[in-house]
Amino acid sequence: MEKEGLGLEITELRLGLPGGSAPILVDKNEKKRVFSDISGDHDNSSTDWKLTQTKNQTVGWPPVCSYRRKNNFQEKDRLETSKMYVKVSMDGAPFLRKVDLSMHKGYSDLAVALEKLFDCFGIGESLKDAENSEQVPIYEDKDGDWMLMGDVPWEMFIESCKRLRIMKRSEAKGFGLQPKDSDHKGNSKDVAK
Amino acid sequence: MDFSLPTEPMNHKRKNPDPSPDSDESTTQLSSPFPDEVLERVLSLLNSRKDRNSVSLVCKDWYDAERWSRTHVFIGNCYSVSPEILTRRFPNIRSVTLKGKPRFSDFDLVPPKWGAYVHSWLLVFATKYHFLEELRLKRMTVSDESLKLLAFSFPNFKALSLLSCDGFSTDGLASITTHCKNLTELDIQENDIDDKSGKWLSCFPENFMSLEVLNFANLNSDVNFEALERLVSRCKSLIVLKVNENMTLEQLHRLLVLAPHLRELGTGSLLQELTPRQHSELKSAFNNCKNLNMLSGFYEVTSIFLPVLYPACTSLTFLNLSYAALRSDGLSNLLVHCPLLQRLWVLDSVEDEGLEAVGSNCPLLEELRVFPASDPFEDEILHGVTEAGFLAVSYGCKKLHYVLYFCRQMTNAAVATIVQNCPDFTHFRLCIMNPRQPDYQTNEPMDEAFGAVVKTCTKLRRLAVSGLLTDLTFEYIGKYANNLETLSVAFAGSSDRGMECVLKGCPKLRKLEIRDCPFGNAALLSSFRKYESMRSLWMSGCKVTMDGCRLLAQEMPRLNVEVIRECGNDGFQADKLYVYRSVAGPRKDAPSFVLTL
């Protein structure tokens, strides 16, 4: 419904300021490197995105009868493991996915899972070589900041990660992404290719 | 309702007990060449509802003979007629099928306590249809009190089938099993039931032997297995047995040994370690089931288990795997053993590869349903199925005429090819799960896909559309879908014109259900006479207003125009509209949130 769509844009999985303004690098403290992105409503994938958000609120969709939903849509856990599901989005993919962070042992394990989920390569590489990889995995932490995945120890990451996004290198252009071992104190280096 | 009613109910008693063939009857225009008993005898052989409706319109004699000889009645909308009118017209009914809530109640679009209570029907039946034998209910509200009334009012009661009903508990079932001495069928499917305990099964008396159909797959509480075993061994005519998830393989084995003549079997959970001995025993038990033509259940199945079933699959015509998250290899290996398969229900966990196996192994397939294995917007995603899977099936299964397909992407070209391969579709229900998603290759709307469907499939009776659709889709539907009876639309269309086209065309349209489309009052009012030839119209999340609905109600006094008002509603928009023809007048049992205009 149109009404629903308008209301829910506020809660969309987007970064930064709508309408397109210059990218900003916000450097809050030594331990964190955050970058903000622009939400650019340029192409179809973003539109699908919007729909993805509204969908989550749509009652009775997809039209599967409630009996089937109860039986199939919930995982029947024989073991009561605590799950740490976070939503993952990838630029260009019309669907959100979800991963259970507690199921993975570390960043490389997670990277492999993400590559399988989205049928793509390069996430693992990006962890080793942030400058040159095609995919840039970032995550939103508890404070609402977007951080480059892979910087903090794994345990700290899974505790604070609220959601993941796999950005295209081209989107990340000019955001002043800092390599791991660079100066953290507010100096943005332009490493755009 | 699905029988034609003249404008006034008729109250003729049987007349002409013995007319001479050439006597003039002044009360009829055409004198019947044979006595009523003969006519009735002949008409009693007619089973088809359509035929009976036609017969009843021929003349008064035939109308009378038909109404006296009818033993089964189907009521597609319980509010379209009252039990009083029904019993007055048809005095000899033994079997009733009643459907209640609008279909979108399956998707939580109808608030609870909306209605469709069976109790008022049973009260009338208890006095008028003392010899009632069968009751089949769909989307009705059934209370334990109703079930108790049922159990006590009809000494010959034989068959109870409850599908997608709500309002009752296992206590109500216990009334049935305790008191219905002649019960042959107890079929409890997909209901919203208060599952207190499995004791109802133990209430069958020890000398009770008539059961032929038992389906309690829906119920989760444990039943007493020994009681079930004794029941199965006593009921020699048992041909349908569908147990619940809690049944172990060991128990299943024991039941199969007792009932090798089963035609339909619903298994319990299949996730167990079997010893080699158990494995071969179970396989041998399945091997002895020579009459099995339907298998369902398969809760928590693993591929390792499936080979046990292979010997039983040779005569299988219907396989329901819609609760089993099978992958493609498990399905392929199974299908090799099911050459006669006509109906297959699966989850999209089998992916396109699994559907390729369907195309390769099931040449006789007529019906395919692919359900989503998980909530595509919540759960960790499997790939699901795409246009490739559907295409593969269409190449291999030329007899395909019924499809329900939940998918993540589709193209116009694929659908056009599919219907070229299978032009005999009668039911085409395609659900592209992302609302308003275009053809993913061309980025165009999916108009041409559904255009191809309606142009090619002349026998099409049921259609569900999805994806990005403009009014063009509905122009096609209105123009070409001449046999279409049921149309389901969601998140589609560009303007009122879309709905107008459908209402102006589709001469056989009976049910139209619409949600979240930009259709407003102009569309609603464009062909309001049409609604009298239809069973019902549902519109929710569209642009109709209360004023528009009031206007409709004014113009068409024989329609019930109901608006479901939800909290937060401003009183201007009509968020949920339900319109249906009725000879019973406005509802007398409507809750406060249902406004009859």
| pLDDT (tens digit per residue) in A155-169 | 888 888 888 888 887
CA-CA-CA-CA dihedral for A104, A161, A177, A126, to nearest 10: 10
Which of chain B's residues have a Cβ under 8 Å away from the Cβ of A96? 377
Contact B372 A72 (CB under 8 A): yes
Of A61, A62, A99, the CB nearest to B380: A99
Cross-chain Cβ contact B434/A58 below 8 Å: no
Helices of type H across B288-411? 328-335, 351-361, 387-396
The answer to whether the Cβ–Cβ distance between A1 and B325 falls below 8 Å is no
pLDDT of residue A17: 45
Contact assignment for B443 to A67 by CB distance below 8 Å: no
Mean pLDDT, chain B, integer: 91
Q: Is the pLDDT of residue A188 over 60?
A: no
Q: How confident is the model at residue A3 (pLDDT cuts 50, 70, 90)?
A: very low
Backbone angles phi, psi at B272, to 5 degrees: -145, 155
How far does A60 lie from chain B, in Å, by closest CA? 4
Asked if the C-beta of A58 comes within 8 angstroms of chain B's C-beta atoms, the answer is yes
A40 to chain B, closest Cα gap in Å: 19
Q: Which of residues 117-156 of A touch B (CB under 8 A)?
A: 117
The arithmetic mean of pLDDT across residues B295-324, rounded, is 89
Residues with Cβ within 8 Å of B40's Cβ and at least 6 positions away in sequence, in order, are B65, B68, B69
Distance of residue A39 Cα from the nearest chain B Cα, in angstroms: 21
Say if strands A34-35 and A85-90 run parallel, antiparallel, or are unpaired.
unpaired
Contact A61/B at CB under 8 A: yes
How many Cα atoms occupy the beta-carbon half-sphere of B488 within 13 Å?
Answer: 16
Closest by alpha carbon to B214, among B192, B174, B179, B183?
B183
Q: Do A62 and B541 touch (CB under 8 A)?
A: no
Mean pLDDT is highest, among A49-58, A132-141, A145-154, B434-443, for B434-443
- DSSP states along B14-67: P--SS--TT---TT-SS--SS-HHHHHHHHTT---HHHHHHHHTT-HHHHHHHH
Residues of B with Cβ-Cβ distance to A95 under 8 angstroms: 376-377, 381, 408, 434
Q: In this structure, which amino acid lies at residue A32?
A: K
Q: Which two structure tokens, joined as six digits, stand for A8?
A: 């829910």
Substitution target from A61, A71, A83, A89 for chain B, most B beta carbons within 10 A: A61
Q: How far is A9 from chain B (nearest CA, A)?
A: 16
- More confident site: B190 or B99: B99
Report residue B25's pLDDT band, with 50, 70 and 90 as the boundaries. very low
Q: Least CB-CB distance to A98: which of B164, B378, B515?
A: B378
Judge: A51–B434 Cβ closer than 8 Å, yes or no.
yes
A15 CA: distance to closest CA in chain B (Å):
20
- Report the share of chain A in percent with pLDDT over 90: 2
Report phi then psi at B173, rounded to 5: -65, -35
What is the C-alpha separation between B217 and B132, in angstroms, rounded? 26
- Residue B389's pLDDT is what? 97
pLDDT 10s digits, A35-44: 333 333 333 4
- Percentage above 90 pLDDT, chain B: 76
Residue A80 confidence (pLDDT) above 80: no
The nearest alpha carbon in chain A to B189 belongs to A67
Q: Do B192 and A100 touch (CB under 8 A)?
A: no
For B405-425, how does the pLDDT look when each residue is reduced to its tens digit (9 = 90+)?
999 999 999 999 999 999 999
Largest CA distance in chain A: 56
pLDDT tens profile B256-275: 999 999 999 999 888 777 78
Please give the share of chain B, as a percent, with pLDDT higher than 70. Answer: 93
| A to B CB pairs, distance under 8 Å | 97
Q: pTM of the prediction?
A: 0.76
Angle at B447 (CA atoms; ends B479, A68), nearest 5 degrees: 105
CA distance B74 to B21: 35
**Angstrom distance (rounded) from CA B387 to CA B173:** 44
Alpha-carbon torsion (B401, B407, B413, B414), positive or negative: negative
Residue B415 or A189, more confident: B415
**Chain B interface includes A62 (CB < 8 A):** yes
Interchain proximity A75–B436, CB inside 8 Å: no
Higher pLDDT pick, A132 / B258: B258
Q: What is the pLDDT of residue B457?
A: 98
Please answer whether residues B177 and B183 qualify as being in contact, where contact means their C-beta atoms are separated by less than 8 angstroms: yes
Q: Which amino acid type is present at position B48?
A: S
Cα distance between residue B102 and residue B99, in whole Å: 9
Residues of chain A positioned with their CB less than 8 A from the CB of B490? 61, 63
Q: Closest by alpha carbon to A184, among A35, A37, A31?
A: A31
In chain B, residues with a C-beta closer than 8 Å to the C-beta of A60 are 104, 106-109, 515
pLDDT above 60 (res A170): yes
Residues of B in contact with A44 (CB under 8 A): 438, 443
User: Taking 80 as the threshold, does the pLDDT of residue B1 lie above it?
Assistant: no
Confidence of residue B382 (pLDDT cuts 50, 70, 90): low
Round to whole Å and give the CA distance between B506 and B502.
6
Min Cα separation A161/chain B (Å): 17
Give A139 to chain B, closest Cα distance, Å: 18
With a cut of 50, say whether residue B492 has pLDDT above it.
Answer: yes
Interface test with A, best of B380, B468, B491 (most A CBs within 10 A): B380
pLDDT, position B192: 84
How much is the pLDDT for B381?
A: 57
Percentage with pLDDT > 70 across chain A: 52
- Using the beta-carbon criterion (under 8 Å), do B381 and A61 form an inter-chain contact? no
* pLDDT at position A111: 86
Provide the token pair at B42. Answer: 């002949």
Does residue A52 register a pLDDT over 60? no
Q: Is the pLDDT of residue B190 over 90?
A: no
Determine contact, residues B446/B412, Cβ cutoff 8 Å.
Answer: yes
pLDDT at A83: 64
Contact B378 A76 (CB under 8 A): no
Q: For residue B481, what pLDDT is reported?
A: 97
The pLDDT score that the predictor gives to residue B163 is 96
What are the Cα distances from residue B402, in Å, to B296, B367, B371?
19, 5, 14
